[in-house]
């Protein structure tokens, strides 16, 4: 037995000495020209190896490579596509005899990858793709010719391969750089100080992976760090990262908030054959926003992304930094013409300062999914049970369905945004039913002008997404149907009563009535056209009043100018309980004009009473004239002729 061990030891020693002799006698640097030449043939790109190739021998065989550069094709802004300062790896010798492939630490330092797409669509990866396709084609041809032999060999060899135990002591990547620029979209993303650390790796076993990076894109700076448990099967068909934790901090003026802190807890799986990435999102928090759900990604030229997300409560206003509804601006207190001029000036300045959001990224996305929100606050409006179905496909973003409960009612909406042109074009259709108008207006605009239960339908379109562009370019139709409500700020009945008392020389009596006009129904069709909202069919009804009107509201200057015609159909009591019967069924003009925050109401009752008195005197004179004609001509005037003659006479007099 002792001799057997001695023989085995001698054999192992012989192998080690032989391998060592080969490594000592062969200079690996003599292979550099071959590697450079093969790289040129396979990729069409120039490989420059400035550093030395070095062997290490015992107890492991290793190879290290110094500074190496893969040059870009001509026409690209950077000299190198890939640069590495140092890379090294080693394999233990003795375990190979037991069919164990034990790889030591894989170390890479100073790696730089620069991916670039030119305006004409050419990429510095095209050479690699082209040569790779040719290689695959050639390999496939050879495989077809030798199919029987290779198939038999593979069947025989696969069990042997699977018997090998493979492990990796770790991976350490430091000071790496990834630079991605696209001249077609104008985008530029740069990740630097990239670090990756992988602990001891074995197939089908969890391996701790940690990573860090700094970066910037456009006007935004990013720092991120994360960790997860990596599991890869021995056939390299499936990979998973469990317990993935990612933290990112972004800063920049272009962000709605700065800094923005992103925390993600999730797990993901990747199917290499289907090129499918599945993400299970346990939690995502972005400042005030929190989400959970699932996302599937199929990796291709335009990634296909499908998702289903949920959040218990989202406050979009807090996230975007929006405040409480503000009062109407000071420009609204001026005359309508002046207010419009001032508002236009401010809008011009605002337009110059504002910039349309860059939505070019939508042109390279294929996204479809749904979002469920238990609560949502946006534009200071509060909604519950919100359900959205969203899709983005090559520059077209669609909200195919939105349903929500809000202010004791419900809303349904659809929207479409075309980001293929600048500024973007959009359309919106919505139907709201049973909405309590007063709390909605109070929350959204701080305006308490209207109350009641409302149904509102809108079909609008526009161009541009800056606040100024939305106001200036919005067009469409809004149909309003309110029931059992009131117009606050004016008591039309009291206004008529007061005006009537003043005309009669009486003192207006203070009754302590509220400054509001109740109605049972209020309807209007509103036409929106570039800053002006017009209606010609305003109608309001109550047991006392019938109101019809027309006018316009300027939602840039926030002013209004309406003329409504009021008819008393019920009994309006005057001072001392005396009924104002002479105003019953009389149409009284009411002018509403001025700023939204403080409109002025003026009733034109004097003209109405003057016209009414003229008509009363005319009718009395006609009757007296008719009696006089009958008395003068007696039986010579036939029935009806006296009235006909009287009408002709008074028509001539009151031309």
pLDDT value, residue 147: 42
Q: Domain check: are 498 and 591 in the same one?
A: yes
Tell me what the pLDDT averaged over the chain comes to: 78
What's the whole-number mean pLDDT along residues 2-18? 46
pLDDT value, residue 514: 82
pLDDT value, residue 529: 92
Q: Domain check: are 546 and 617 in the same one?
A: no
State the pTM of this model: 0.68
Q: Domain check: are 554 and 623 in the same one?
A: no
Q: Domain check: are 536 and 648 in the same one?
A: no
What's the whole-number mean pLDDT along residues 19-33? 53
Q: Domain check: are 556 and 589 in the same one?
A: yes
| Phi, then psi, of 338 in degrees rounded to 5 | -65, -40
What's the whole-number mean pLDDT along residues 387-400? 94
pLDDT band at 221 (very low <50, low <70, confident <90, very high): very high
Q: Domain check: are 592 and 512 in the same one?
A: yes
Tens of pLDDT along 329-349?
A: 444 444 444 555 554 544 444
Domain assignment of residue 566, yes or no: yes
Domain assignment of residue 224, yes or no: no
Structural domain harbouring 638? 613-653
Tens of pLDDT along 110-155?
A: 889 999 999 888 888 887 765 544 544 444 444 444 444 443 443 4
CB 598 within 8 A of CB 569: no
d(CA 481, CA 524): 7
Q: Domain check: are 483 and 578 in the same one?
A: yes
Does residue 448 have a pLDDT over 90?
A: no
Does residue 417 have a pLDDT over 90?
A: yes
Report the range of poorest mean pLDDT among 6-10, 28-32, 49-53, 619-623: 6-10
d(CA 91, CA 103): 5
pLDDT value, residue 36: 63
Output the six-digit token pair for 343.
């508002």
Q: Domain check: are 642 and 550 in the same one?
A: no
pLDDT value, residue 634: 55
**Which one is predicted more confidently, 420 or 349?**
420
Report the range of poorest mean pLDDT among 58-67, 261-270, 396-405, 554-563: 58-67
Domain assignment of residue 52, yes or no: no
Q: Domain check: are 509 and 565 in the same one?
A: yes
pLDDT band at 462 (very low <50, low <70, confident <90, very high): very high
Domain assignment of residue 251, yes or no: no
pLDDT value, residue 333: 46
CA neighbor of 112 nearest in space, from 29, 204, 40, 175: 175
d(CA 588, CA 224): 70
pLDDT band at 480 (very low <50, low <70, confident <90, very high): very high
Q: Domain check: are 622 and 568 in the same one?
A: no
CB 586 within 8 A of CB 569: no
Domain assignment of residue 368, yes or no: no
Output the six-digit token pair for 86.
């140092």
Parallel, antiparallel, or unpaired: how do β-strands 47-49 and 68-71 relate? antiparallel
CA distances from 500 to 169, 351, 591 (A): 98, 49, 16
pLDDT band at 55 (very low <50, low <70, confident <90, very high): low
pLDDT band at 644 (very low <50, low <70, confident <90, very high): low
pLDDT band at 209 (very low <50, low <70, confident <90, very high): very high
| Phi, then psi, of 443 in degrees rounded to 5 | -70, -45
Does residue 571 have a pLDDT over 80?
A: no
CB 549 within 8 A of CB 561: no
Q: Domain check: are 558 and 644 in the same one?
A: no
pLDDT value, residue 548: 93
pLDDT value, residue 250: 93
Domain assignment of residue 495, yes or no: yes
What's the whole-number mean pLDDT along residues 253-277? 89
Percentage of the chain modeled with pLDDT above 90: 34
pLDDT value, residue 309: 94
Question: What b/e readout covers 368-403, taking b as 16+ CB neighbours within 10 angstroms?
Answer: ebbbebeebbbebbbbeebebebbbeebebbbeebe
| Phi, then psi, of 114 in degrees rounded to 5 | -125, 110
Domain assignment of residue 501, yes or no: yes
Long-range contacts of 87-90 (CB under 8 A, 24+ apart): 87/111, 88/62, 88/63, 88/64, 89/62, 89/63, 89/64, 90/56, 90/60, 90/61, 90/62, 90/63
pLDDT value, residue 67: 84
CB 350 within 8 A of CB 331: no
CB 75 within 8 A of CB 62: no
Does residue 223 have a pLDDT over 90?
A: yes
pLDDT value, residue 456: 95
What's the whole-number mean pLDDT along residues 489-494? 83
Give the DSSP H/E element, type plus range, for residue 598. Answer: none
Does residue 537 have a pLDDT over 90?
A: yes
Count: domains in the chain? 2
Q: Domain check: are 501 and 585 in the same one?
A: yes
Parallel, antiparallel, or unpaired: how do β-strands 559-568 and 304-311 relate? unpaired
Domain assignment of residue 5, yes or no: no
What's the whole-number mean pLDDT along residues 272-282? 90
Tens of pLDDT along 422-435?
A: 889 999 999 999 99
């Amino acid at each position: 037995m002792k001799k057997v061990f001695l023989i085995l030891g001698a054999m192992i020693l012989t192998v080690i000495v032989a391998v060592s002799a080969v490594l000592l006698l062969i200079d690996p640097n003599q292979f550099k020209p071959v590697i450079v030449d093969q790289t040129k043939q396979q990729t069409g790109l120039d490989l420059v190896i400035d550093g030395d190739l070095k062997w290490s021998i015992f107890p492991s065989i290793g190879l290290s490579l110094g500074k190496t550069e893969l040059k870009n094709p001509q026409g690209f802004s950077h000299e190198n596509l890939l640069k590495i300062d140092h890379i090294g790896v080693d394999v233990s010798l003795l375990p190979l005899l037991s069919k164990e492939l034990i790889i030591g630490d894989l170390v890479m330092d100073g790696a730089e990858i620069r991916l670039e797409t030119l305006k004409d669509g050419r990429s510095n990866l095209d050479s690699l793709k082209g040569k790779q396709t040719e290689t695959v084609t050639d390999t496939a041809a050879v495989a077809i010719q030798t199919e029987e032999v290779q198939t038999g060999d593979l069947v025989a060899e696969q069990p042997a391969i699977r018997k090998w135990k493979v492990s990796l002591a770790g991976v350490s990547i430091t000071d790496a750089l990834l630079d991605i620029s696209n001249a077609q979209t104008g985008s530029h993303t740069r990740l630097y100080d990239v670090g990756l650390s992988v602990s001891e790796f074995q197939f089908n076993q969890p391996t701790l992976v940690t990573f860090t990076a700094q970066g910037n894109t456009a006007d935004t700076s990013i720092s991120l760090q994360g960790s997860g448990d990596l599991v890869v099967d021995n056939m390299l068909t499936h990979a998973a990262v469990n317990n993935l934790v990612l933290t990112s901090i972004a800063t920049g003026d272009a962000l709605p908030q700065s800094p923005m802190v992103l925390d993600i807890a999730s797990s993901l799986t990747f199917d290499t054959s289907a090129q499918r990435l599945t993400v299970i999102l346990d939690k995502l928090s972005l400042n005030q926003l929190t989400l959970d759900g699932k996302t599937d990604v199929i990796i291709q030229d335009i990634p296909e992304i499908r998702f289903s997300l949920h959040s218990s409560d989202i406050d979009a206003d807090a996230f975007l930094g929006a405040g409480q509804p503000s009062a109407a601006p000071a420009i609204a207190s001026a005359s309508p013409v002046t207010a419009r001029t001032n508002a236009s000036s401010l809008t011009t300045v605002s337009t110059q300062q504002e910039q349309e959001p860059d939505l070019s990224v939508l042109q390279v996305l294929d996204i479809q999914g749904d979002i469920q929100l238990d609560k949502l606050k946006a534009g200071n409006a509060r909604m519950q049970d919100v359900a959205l179905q969203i899709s983005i496909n090559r520059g077209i973003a669609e909200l195919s369905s939105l349903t929500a409960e809000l202010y004791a009612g419900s809303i349904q909406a659809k929207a479409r945004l075309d980001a293929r042109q600048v500024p973007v074009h959009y359309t919106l259709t919505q139907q709201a039913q049973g909405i309590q108008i007063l709390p909605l207006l109070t929350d959204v605009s701080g305006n308490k002008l209207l109350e009641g239960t409302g149904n509102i339908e809108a079909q609008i379109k526009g161009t541009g997404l800056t606040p100024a562009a939305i106001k200036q370019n919005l067009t469409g139709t809004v149909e309003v149907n309110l029931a059992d409500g009131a117009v606050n700020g004016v008591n039309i009945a009291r206004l008529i009563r007061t005006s009537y008392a003043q005309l009669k020389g009486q003192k207006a009596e203070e009754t302590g009535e509220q400054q509001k006009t109740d109605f049972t129904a209020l309807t209007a069709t509103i036409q929106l056209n570039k800053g002006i909202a017009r209606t010609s069919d305003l109608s309001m009804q109550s047991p006392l009043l019938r109101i019809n009107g027309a006018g316009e509201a300027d939602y840039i200057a926030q002013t209004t100018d309406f003329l409504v015609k009021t008819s008393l159909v019920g009994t309006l009591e005057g001072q001392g309980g005396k009924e104002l019967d002479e105003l019953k069924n009389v149409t009284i003009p009411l002018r509403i004009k001025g700023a939204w925050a403080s409109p002025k109401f003026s009733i034109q009752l004097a003209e109405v009473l003057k016209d009414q008195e003229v008509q009363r005197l005319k009718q009395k004179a006609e009757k007296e004239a008719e009696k006089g004609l009958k008395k003068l001509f007696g039986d010579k005037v036939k029935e009806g002729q006296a009235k006909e003659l009287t009408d002709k006479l008074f028509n001539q007099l009151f031309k």
